[in-house]
Amino acid sequence: NAGVTQTPKFQVLKTGQSMTLQCAQDMNHEYMSWYRQDPGMGLRLIHYSVGAGITDQGEVPNGYNVSRSTTEDFPLRLLSAAPSQTSVYFCASRHGGENTEAFFGQGTRLTVV
């Protein structure tokens, strides 16, 4: 049972480059989300999706795009990387509803130079 699979684990980008962080889950979870983790701060929500074809912005959406064409996949796109996007990114999924356990990917450490 793979759970939440996130790739790549590490990435270095130059300012202005674009890239896609991949996230896939095999638990048929309706809800998927992307967070960034920065030193001294709690995880902050970037974008989330409550089901295929539905996405919405979180707390810090600027500079990021998402799509949810299938239940399993929820990629995060950086359109034009900036040094301020240097962070650790986590994808998470859970069943719909409020009182459900969250499952996290292993994280992507992104450095923008």
Q: How far is the CB of 27 from another protein (least distance, A)?
A: 13
Residues 61-100 that bind another protein (CB under 8 A): 90, 92, 97-100
Q: Which is nearest to 39 in space by CA: 88, 83, 111, 84?
A: 88
Point out which span in 19-27, 30-38, 65-73, 77-85 binds another protein (CB under 8 A).
Answer: 30-38
Residue 73 CB neighbours (<10 A): 15
Contact 32, 25 (CB under 8 A): yes
15: which DSSP letter? T
Asked whether position 31 contacts another protein by CB under 8 A, the answer is yes
Parallel, antiparallel or unpaired: strands 44-51 and 54-57: antiparallel
Give DSSP secondary structure letters for 83-103: GGG-EEEEEEEE-SSSS---E
Q: 16 or 26, CB closer to another protein?
A: 26
Q: How far is the CB of 91 from another protein (least distance, A)?
A: 10
Binding footprint of another protein, residue count (CB under 8 A): 26
Residues making contact with another protein (CB under 8 A): 31, 33, 35, 40-45, 48, 50, 56, 58, 90, 92, 97-107
